[in-house]
Every structure is written in C-alpha cells, then in structure tokens.
C-alpha cells in the first residue's frame, strides 16, 4: 500500500525509554510500532518475525550491543533502515555506528517531532544527524596539519641528524650547539611528533618522508 504506516521496532534496554518512545510513536498516524527489544540479540530475532521498516537502535546495551546488532541487521535485512538513538556523542561511537550500517545518528535529547521526522526521512533512504553529531562529523573531516608542521628550523635540523643515527653529542658537534640545547630540541621534537623515543621519531620521519 502506498500510504501504509512506517513499521517501527524499538531497541533499548531501559524500560522508561521504551515507554517514552512508544507513547510518542502512538501519537502519529503514519507510524506502526511492531515490536520492542531489550538488546541486539532480541532485535535480530524480531526483525525476522515482524520485518520493520525502521529501527530505533540504542547503542550501549548488555549482551549484543547496538553496534553489533546494527551490523547484523544491516547484513541480513539490508532494506531495514536503522537509526542510532543514544545519549552518547563520542566520535568513535558515531563512526562505528555509521560503518555498521546506521543511516542516522540521533541523540535522545531531540524532540519527539524531530525524531518523527528523522524516522520518515530514514524510511525514504536519507540521513539525519543531531546538530552536535553533525558538528563532530564535520570537525573530524577537517584536514589535520601534517606531523612536524610546528617544528622549528633548528628542530628540523636535529630531526634529520636523528634519522642519520647520531646521538646528542654528535648532533651538537655537527650543529655547533651545546649538548643541553640538543637535549631540549629532542624533547620538543618528540612532543610535537607525538612519539616517546628517538627511534619512534626517526621511524615516523622516514615513513612519512618528513626528511628529504
């Protein structure tokens, strides 16, 4: 049927959250609640029985969590649209959910009308993100400056000699600088490159072709 209601499955381990979602879903004529699950494992079983159009998926749950459930549902029932609905806006969790197959990522502080619109949007194959989530995704795509961008000219010279395998005394002799000054430069280089040893600094410089 062209105007058939959107069949929705709720997956959340908190009874009060499920109750709240059920209450708001029942207020919309174009939604049909077809089931609720307390974890990902139950959600996967219900998908085979009730074939929802859209799942509101919590991510942090006992047993099979939302990420694993999202991936399993997406692989077995690719036509089902999954909306991650959670309180967490950690960048790593957001990316894991999207990689697993979630089409949208919403925070639970969104209004009922916003969630309802996101459900309709997901049903038609389009994504919705909470504003905070969208900001995190945008920031994560902004190009990060390359390693070593903040090294001084002297630090570059010291790094080049570290790559050659020279110790602090040898570097100081080559650059005609005191050993204490070289030690200071080496410390700064390690901090700026985000490494903990001269060996790591040299390996990073070689791997990323930082030194001509």
Q: Mapped to the 3 state alphabet, what secondary structure does the chain carry?
A: CCCCCEEEEEECCCHHHHHHHHHHHCCCCCEEEEEEECCHHHHHHHHHHHCCCEEEECCCCCCCCHHHHHHHHHHHCCCCEEEEEECCCCHHHHHHHHHHCCCEEEECCCCHHHHHHHHHHHHCCCCCECHHHHHHHHHHHCCCCCCCCCCCHHHHHHHHHHHHCCCHHHHHHHHCCCHHHHHHHHHHHHHHHCCCCHHHHHHHHHHCCCCC
**What per-residue confidence (pLDDT) applies to 149?**
87
Each residue's pLDDT tens digit, 147-180? 888 999 999 999 999 999 999 999 999 999 998 8
Each residue's pLDDT tens digit, 113-146? 999 999 999 999 999 999 999 998 888 777 677 8
Q: What is the pTM of this model?
A: 0.68
**What per-residue confidence (pLDDT) applies to 1?**
45
Domain 6-141 has CATH 3.90.1150.10: no
Domain 153-207 has CATH 1.10.10.10: yes
Where do the structural domains in the chain lie, given as residue ranges?
6-141, 153-207
Tokens of 162: 């570290």
**What per-residue confidence (pLDDT) applies to 148?**
87
As a whole number, mean pLDDT of residues 80-90 equals: 95
Residue 36 has pLDDT above 90, yes or no: yes
Residue 183 has pLDDT above 70, yes or no: yes
**What per-residue confidence (pLDDT) applies to 2?**
54
Average pLDDT, the chain: 92
**What per-residue confidence (pLDDT) applies to 3?**
75
Task: Report the percent of the chain where pLDDT is more than 70.
Answer: 98
Residue 85 has pLDDT above 60, yes or no: yes
**What per-residue confidence (pLDDT) applies to 143?**
61
């Amino acid at each position: 049927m062209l105007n058939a209601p959107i069949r929705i499955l709720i997956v959340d381990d908190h009874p009060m959250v499920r109750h709240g979602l059920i209450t708001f879903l029942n207020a919309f004529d174009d939604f049909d609640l077809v089931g609720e699950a307390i974890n990902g494992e139950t959600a996967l079983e219900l998908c085979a029985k009730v074939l929802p159009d859209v799942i509101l998926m919590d991510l942090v749950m006992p047993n099979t969590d939302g990420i694993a459930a999202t991936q399993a549902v997406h692989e077995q029932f690719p036509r089902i649209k999954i909306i991650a609905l959670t309180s967490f806006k950690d960048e790593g969790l957001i990316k894991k959910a999207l990689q697993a197959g979630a089409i949208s990522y919403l925070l639970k502080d969104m209004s009922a009308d916003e969630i309802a619109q996101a459900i309709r949007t997901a049903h038609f194959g389009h994504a919705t993100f909470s504003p905070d989530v969208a900001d995190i995704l945008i920031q994560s795509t902004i190009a990060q400056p390359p390693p070593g961008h903040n090294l001084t000219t002297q630090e570059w010279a010291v790094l080049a000699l570290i790559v050659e395998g020279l110790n602090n005394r040898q570097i100081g002799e080559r650059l005609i600088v005191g050993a204490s000054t070289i030690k200071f430069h080496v410390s700064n280089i390690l901090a700026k490159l985000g490494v903990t040893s001269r060996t790591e600094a040299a390996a990073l410089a070689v791997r990323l072709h930082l030194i001509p």
